Amino acid sequence: MKKLLLGDEAIALGAIDAGLSGVYAYPGTPSTEITEYIQGNTLAKERGIHSRWCTNEKTAMEAALGMSFMGKRALVCMKHVGMNVCADPFVNSAMTGVNGGVVVLVADDPSMHSSQDEQDSRFYGKFAMIPTFEPSNQQEAYDMMEAAFDYSEQQCLPVLMRVTTRMAHSRAVVEVKEKARPENGMNYNSVAANWVLLPANARKRNDKVTAQQIQLEEDAAKSKYNSLSPALPKGKGEKCPLGIIASGIAYNYVQESLKTLALQENGQEVPILKISQYPLPKRLVRDLLNSCEKVMVVEEGQPFIEEQVRGVFDSQNILGRLTGQLPRTGELTPDNVAAALSNAGVIAPLATREVQGVSPLVVARPPQLCQGCGHRDVYTALNEVLKEYENPRVFGDIGCYTLGFLPPYKAIHSCVDMGASITIAKGASDAGQWPAVAIIGDSTFTHSGMTGLLDAVNEKANITVIISDNLTTAMTGGQDSAGTNKFEAICLGLGVEPEHLHVVVPLPKNMPEITRIIREEINYKGVSVIIPQRECIQTFKRKAKERKLKD
Amino acid sequence: MKTDIILCGVGGQGILSIATIIGEAAMNENLYIKQAEVHGMSQRGGDVQSNLRISSDPIASDLIAKGSADVIISMEPMEALRYLPYLSKEGWVITSSAPFVNIPNYPDIEDIKAELSKLPHVIAIDIEQIAKDNQVPRSANVILLGAAQKALGLDYATLENAIRSVFGRKGEAVVEANIKALALGKAAQK
């Protein structure tokens, strides 16, 4: 059966068809659509596959381990920076091992379309000694999901599957199975001595997993997802001038360039080692290196393979991002890959293709808060009050409201990671800053802001926290927010004083009330929490539309 | 057959639904498809684009190389200009002529029109106005699709069928409005 699927959807359907019992995830571009697809899938509903959003990536990873402990297959999805949040259970999951298969899907965002950094998750796989898969097209993403679950159970280790933005958010026709594999039954095969990571137990597991790496690398060398083509000549003839190592989606850009800009006069084929399964199979790399004068490494993200291949001898015959043939940062494109291959002489000069310049009329059109968005009213009120103070500082967080940095508001002075608004405000206050205001969204607050608020309450920090609650996880498209209707109770439970906890409705008509409260609470020497609460205008419109469609 | 298409506009203008219809049509024709979309932060009123490639042969890259797009379909005239470096020398630009002004430094629309008219193959039409005048106010993007039909290299009937299957679950009235819009766009072709 053929389906037109987004990379994320191919991954989701691949997991369902591989007998998935639960997906655990926190929304994050470009990984969100995986969980959304499972939430909407008929078979997943019939089977009762777990798909509700988790509070953060750490709770997601741990719940998946629980599912695996009981013998069933679990998928964990996140964006690359989410991996930092779940690093503790992820790294330790190699020590516990798995019972039911676990696949940890991480979607990296090179060029930072919607992210704060460009980290490459393959380093996490190597660091945690966990085998890593990296599909290069949607069909492979679908097929690999079952292979990854099988391999996870065979090796008793989780499998990391790494994709990047263009894989996650690109559609193609995928051939899918007619019938999904049944789910695993529950079992009690998990051995406590593996799962209780007391030092004495963990040392044994560490030795075992470390020894297992040789097998994992040999499996990668034999994997059908890693291939060398065309096959290298067996004899001791002349070396090829250039070979290519291409991983994941980069493989497609290499193929595109070789196809569209082939050198007519010289039909010589360029040997390409495609890498989609790690640990890096050194045997295949050596075969390529032995038969080529130079090798170019083309990979999306950081120079993960390139550094390993160069090694400490810093071989001058290895070309790529570290030597300037490809850009050191940012996404690969068919253009920068073609330029690198063209400069290396394996394809035609790029000058053969005419490219128009950019019209000087074109100006930037930055994203902005929607018309009618409650965050707008919050920033209007906050700016109104803060102009009364000499040196106010506002510590922002991750979400739509980060756009408050841009004109017309220019309202925030920091945005680092999920939950950091409250803790950075506290640190600034500890240093003597006043007013120190934190602004954080509802979903970000439950993701990673609550613990920081407890720190602030315990020390009676002189900060004002604004939880701008739009009842949803808006930036990623309006997913359920874990704390909806619970924020007052959470803040009171953490010890916020009732007289310094306020809920307001951010609308222009309420400006006098909101500005008065902000002013009073900034002047209060202690922790105050103000919760402006109004539904996201996008989810509001969507629900109105759905109601209309029903009627 | 190979058509490389850049779809562009401003976040929220509905370029992805044009992509969905073309994708459906291409799949029914047993063509290969690759379509890279933009999700996330840029959807909030910023410039958005999608690379859509359809071909009778397998497609390697999800992204279109500079100087090689066959068509730019744009919901907004300045956004059409933004992607000209991707257009091939003989490529087509099918664009809405009505500016979407949500920035303070939007250029003079007459300058934009003059710039567009320098291109060899352009269709610039006021799809919002045509949609209103013909009582299909929600189908402006499908008018644009109709105007791009020849440049896409797809049969008109193929697009019509794709509209039926894409909008089918929304009811017959929605299907008919979009088919009417497609015909209005077709009539605007040169």
Query: Mean pLDDT, chain A, as a whole number?
Result: 95
The closest CB to that of B66, out of A113, A335, A400, belongs to A335
- Check CB contact under 8 Å for B44 and A357: no
The closest CB to that of A361, out of B39, B41, B115, belongs to B115
Collect all residues of chain A within an 8 Å Cβ-Cβ radius of residue B41: 29, 113-114, 367, 475
The closest CB to that of B61, out of A29, A256, A364, belongs to A256
Number of C-alpha atoms within 13 angstroms, CB side, residue A423?
15
Q: What percent of chain A has pLDDT over 70?
A: 98
pLDDT confidence bin for A280, thresholds 50/70/90: very high
Domain of B82? 2-187
How far apart, in whole angstroms, are the C-alpha atoms of residue B186 and residue A374?
42
Collect all residues of chain A within an 8 Å Cβ-Cβ radius of residue B38: 113, 169
Residue A490: CB atoms within 10 A of its CB come to: 17
The closest CB to that of B44, out of A30, A32, A367, belongs to A367
Task: Enter the tokens of residue B150.
Answer: 């020849």
Tell me how far apart the terminal alpha carbons of chain A are, to the nearest angstrom: 34
The pLDDT score that the predictor gives to residue A267 is 53
B119 lies within 8 A of chain A by CB: no
- Check CB contact under 8 Å for B41 and A253: no
Where are the CATH 3.40.50.970 domain residues in chain A?
2-222, 374-539
Residue A314: CB atoms within 10 A of its CB come to: 10
Query: Mean pLDDT, chain B, as a whole number?
Result: 94
- Check CB contact under 8 Å for B33 and A355: no
Strands of A165-239 (E only): list them.
170-175, 227-229
**Residue A366 pLDDT > 80:** yes
- The residues near A26 (Cβ < 8 Å, ≥ 6 apart) are A53, A54, A55, A56, A57, A60, A78, A82, A447
Do residues A51 and A85 make contact, with C-beta atoms less than 8 angstroms apart?
Answer: no
The closest CB to that of A173, out of B27, B46, B79, belongs to B27
Evaluate whether ipTM surpasses 0.85: yes
The whole-angstrom distance between B125's CA and the closest CA on chain A is 19
The sign one gets for the Cα dihedral B17, B22, B27, B31 is negative
Render A97-115 in DSSP notation, one character per residue.
--SS-EEEEEEE-TT-SS-
**Residue B39 pLDDT > 80:** no
Window 85-104 of B: residues touching A by CB (8 A cutoff) are 85, 87-89, 102-103
The pLDDT score that the predictor gives to residue A265 is 53
The closest CB to that of A29, out of B39, B62, B88, belongs to B39
How many Cβ pairs within 8 Å bridge chains A and B? Answer: 144
Where are the CATH 3.40.50.920 domain residues in chain A?
227-351
Which of A79-88, A126-135, A259-268, A345-354 has the least mean pLDDT? A259-268
The pLDDT score that the predictor gives to residue A196 is 97
Cα A481 off chain centre by: 18
- Check CB contact under 8 Å for A366 and B46: yes
pLDDT confidence bin for B127, thresholds 50/70/90: very high
Collect all residues of chain B within an 8 Å Cβ-Cβ radius of residue A370: 44-45
The pLDDT score that the predictor gives to residue B99 is 96
**Residue A551 pLDDT > 90:** no
Mutation to test the B interface, candidates A171, A259, A342, most B Cβ within 10 Å: A171
- Check CB contact under 8 Å for B34 and A171: yes
- Strand, coil or helix: B5: strand
CATH of the domain at B14: 3.40.920.10
Task: Give residue-wise pLDDT tens across range A15-58.
Answer: 999 999 999 999 999 999 999 999 999 999 999 999 999 999 99
**Residue A540 pLDDT > 70:** yes
The whole-angstrom distance between B105's CA and the closest CA on chain A is 8
Which of A259-263, A361-365, B139-143 has the least mean pLDDT? A259-263
The pLDDT score that the predictor gives to residue B163 is 97
The pLDDT score that the predictor gives to residue A276 is 98
Strands of A138-195 (E only): list them.
159-164, 170-175
Of B148, B159, B137, which is closest to residue B185 (Cα–Cα)? B148
The pLDDT score that the predictor gives to residue A109 is 94
Task: Enter the tokens of residue A246.
Answer: 């291409």
The closest CB to that of A173, out of B32, B62, B78, belongs to B32
Average pLDDT over residues A390-417: 96
B115 lies within 8 A of chain A by CB: yes
- Fold observed for domain A374-539: Rossmann fold (3.40.50)
pTM value?
0.95
- The residues near B44 (Cβ < 8 Å, ≥ 6 apart) are A367, A368, A369, A370, A400, A403, B11
CATH number of A227-351: 3.40.50.920
**CA distances from residue A133 to A73, A176, A494, B9, B12 in whole angstroms, order as listed:** 17, 19, 42, 35, 35
Collect all residues of chain B within an 8 Å Cβ-Cβ radius of residue A172: 32-35, 59, 62
The pLDDT score that the predictor gives to residue A213 is 98
The closest CB to that of A333, out of B63, B103, B115, belongs to B63
Task: Give residue-wise pLDDT tens across range A69-107.
Answer: 999 999 999 999 999 999 999 999 999 999 999 999 999
Domain count for chain B: 1
The pLDDT score that the predictor gives to residue B83 is 96
Mutation to test the A interface, candidates B41, B54, B74, most A Cβ within 10 Å: B41
The pLDDT score that the predictor gives to residue A239 is 87
- Bridge partners (DSSP) of residue A24 are A76
Q: What percent of chain A has pLDDT over 90?
A: 87
Among left, alpha and beta (phi > 0; psi -120 to 50; other), residue A140 is alpha
- The residues near A187 (Cβ < 8 Å, ≥ 6 apart) are A70, A71, A99
User: Strand pairing of B2-10 and B47-55?
Assistant: antiparallel
Mutation to test the A interface, candidates B4, B63, B121, most A Cβ within 10 Å: B63
- Strand, coil or helix: A462: coil
The whole-angstrom distance between A356's CA and the closest CA on chain B is 5
User: Strand pairing of A528-532 and A464-468?
Assistant: parallel
The closest CB to that of B82, out of A114, A357, A362, belongs to A362
Do residues B5 and B53 make contact, with C-beta atoms less than 8 angstroms apart?
Answer: yes
Minimal-distance CA residue of chain A relative to B10 = A365
Task: Give residue-wise pLDDT tens across range A250-273.
Answer: 999 999 998 888 775 555 578 999
Do residues A163 and A34 make contact, with C-beta atoms less than 8 angstroms apart?
Answer: no
**Residue A348 pLDDT > 60:** yes
Do residues B179 and B160 make contact, with C-beta atoms less than 8 angstroms apart?
Answer: yes
How far apart, in whole angstroms, are the C-alpha atoms of residue A10 and residue A16?
10
The pLDDT score that the predictor gives to residue A201 is 96
B106 lies within 8 A of chain A by CB: yes
Mutation to test the B interface, candidates A33, A113, A359, most B Cβ within 10 Å: A359
- Fold observed for domain A2-222: Rossmann fold (3.40.50)
Mutation to test the B interface, candidates A361, A400, A537, most B Cβ within 10 Å: A361
Residue A210: CB atoms within 10 A of its CB come to: 11
How far apart, in whole angstroms, are the C-alpha atoms of residue B121 and residue B98?
18
**Better-predicted residue by pLDDT, A542 or A526:** A526
Q: What percent of chain B has pLDDT over 90?
A: 87
Which of A336-350, B100-114, B122-136 has the least mean pLDDT? A336-350
Minimal-distance CA residue of chain B relative to A367 = B46
Cα A279 off chain centre by: 21
- Check CB contact under 8 Å for B85 and A355: yes
How far apart, in whole angstroms, are the C-alpha atoms of residue A90 and residue A84?
9
Do residues A65 and A103 make contact, with C-beta atoms less than 8 angstroms apart?
Answer: no
The pLDDT score that the predictor gives to residue B13 is 86
Average pLDDT over residues A520-539: 97
- Check CB contact under 8 Å for A356 and B170: no
- Bridge partners (DSSP) of residue A79 are A107
